[in-house]
Amino acid sequence: MNSHSPSELYRGVKILHDPLRNKGTAYTDAERDYLKLRGLLPPRVHSPAEQELRVLGNIRAKPTDLERYLYLVALQDRNETLFYRVVMHNIEEMMPLIYTPTVGKACQEFQHIFRTPRGFHVSLQDRGQIKEYLQNWPHKETRIIVVTDGERILGLGDLGADGMGIPIGKLALYTACSGIHPTHCMPVMLDVGTNNETLLNDPLYNGLERRRVRGEEYDELVEEFITAVNDAFPGVLIQLEDFGNTNAFRLLEKYRDRVCLFNDDIQGTGAVAVAGIIGALRITGGKLSEQKILFLGAGEAGIGIADTFVAALVENGIPPEQARKQCWFVDTKGLLVADRGDIPEHKRPYAHEHPYIANFLDAVNTLRPTAILGLSGQPGHFTKDAVAAMATINDRPIVFALSNPTSKAECTAAQAYTWSDGRAIFASGSPFDPVKLGNRVFVPGQGNNAYIFPGVGLGVIVSGARTVTAEMFLAAAHSLANQVTEADLERGRVYPPLGQIRKVSALIAREVARIAYARGLTNKEEPADIMADIHEYMYHPVYPHYA
């Protein structure tokens, strides 16, 4: 469907209603004759730059970010090329609108703002027929799927079918940040019900009106889906997104070696956070092997970061058991220690021998970590006392408040810098504005997974890798950290500017592809120039010519 040779079906008004082919007022005079558009458009031909100017004016005139989000969604639905041109040329302004934090609000309101269907819905009602229904998807060249069951949307919890905004947003970032063609992307909602009473009582809710299923019925649906999409799109890359802890870890373990699949909340978050820590050490002068990390929150993100950090230490010759002892967790029950009862399987490697500590501040003062990482979804839990304690223990404390969206951050950038007298090295999951403190201006780093998953996905797709390995994510972390400049570090930034995201993604993709070729994870022959192969694949939002 991404052919640009219009048949009679796509002439006249029909081509104006096809977002992949629509050029709006940018059709040339010759194209208007050829496509039978005379009288259907205003007479003036506008350049793409002029169209972009109009879009930016409309966006900036909107009173709220949610309304800006809705405008951009509507643009994507009518003119996909222009949508990506605007996003790519203005990525730092647009990313918070098409993804976190605005996408969180959009998901919370999804049933009320629903307009044009986008993506593919699989529900319990479709059991036994998923393979057949996949034939309805128009893009047979699908190369990547982002799928969620909506149970743990950002830090907002169970949003059921309203979580569809997350796969849609993630795939928009795949295209904008790494150039994966829009027709190669498939957002999927796996609707197994919801335990959100507000949604179940809302007559406008779009999902199944039932509580979540678990156990065998759930597993059978997932199995049918995984099998069906691999039959329909052989070798497709599947990204698991915002599944609850109950399912996220076990589904990753079940399928990671069987199909081309990864979990961004576990592996992508792990890579981006470790990259930030490596960047922070270029400021502190410390060594990775000397770091002791205290996590607030022991879910997918926290465990994923710890696993990646441990892998980085093992790469440096430290035994895994010793490396894990440099990671400590405080969850809803206090410090994770070995003699606590009923510890979930995914937490057990990090349950160390130590007296129990009830709260986070006491854990900071007792364990004396070099870094605190917040992944709890609990705003304000990095208190003034906790940050001040970190600044007493460390000359340059690492304080990463990574919970999304912004409203869920454990502390703000201004709080971290102020409470540490400007000595904290801060990063967050969602964006914060620069902070002026005395004569200095600090630019907070945004530990956004968009620095990692688009590049990993691009490298997997271009190389034709059959699986996604932990080594690939560790390589992605190193590649990202290496792209932070001294100028970035001087401003307190431990990640490159978002404006460089396509370059960042391409370099990560190169490292991922190298691993795929070196480890024999692909049937494709290694090209003479991997980077040239990557750039040749990458999509650019340029209008086709029809006449």
What are the catalytic residues? Answer: 99, 170
Nearest to 408 by CA among 97, 105, 70: 105
Query: DSSP assignment of 411-458, as one string?
Result: S-HHHHHHHTTT--EEEESS----EEETTEEE--EE--GGGTHHHHHH
In this structure, the dihedral spanned by the alpha carbons of residues 134, 138, 142 and 145, taken in order and rounded to 10 degrees, is: -60
Strand 435-437, strand 440-442: pairing: antiparallel
Q: What is the CA angle 153-249-174, rounded to 5? A: 55
Nearest to 371 by CA among 326, 421, 304, 405: 326
185 backbone φψ class: left, alpha, beta (φ>0; ψ -120 to 50): beta
Beta bridge partners of 440: 437
3-state secondary structure 504-531: HHHHHHHHHHHHHHHCCCCCCCCCCCHH
Nearest to 466 by CA among 204, 222, 295, 255: 255
Q: What are the structure tokens assigned to 523, written together?
A: 């049937």
Beta bridge partners of 102: none
User: How large is the C-alpha radius of gyration of the chain?
Assistant: 24
Strand 261-263, strand 440-442: pairing: unpaired
CA atoms within 13 Å, Cβ hemisphere of 486: 0
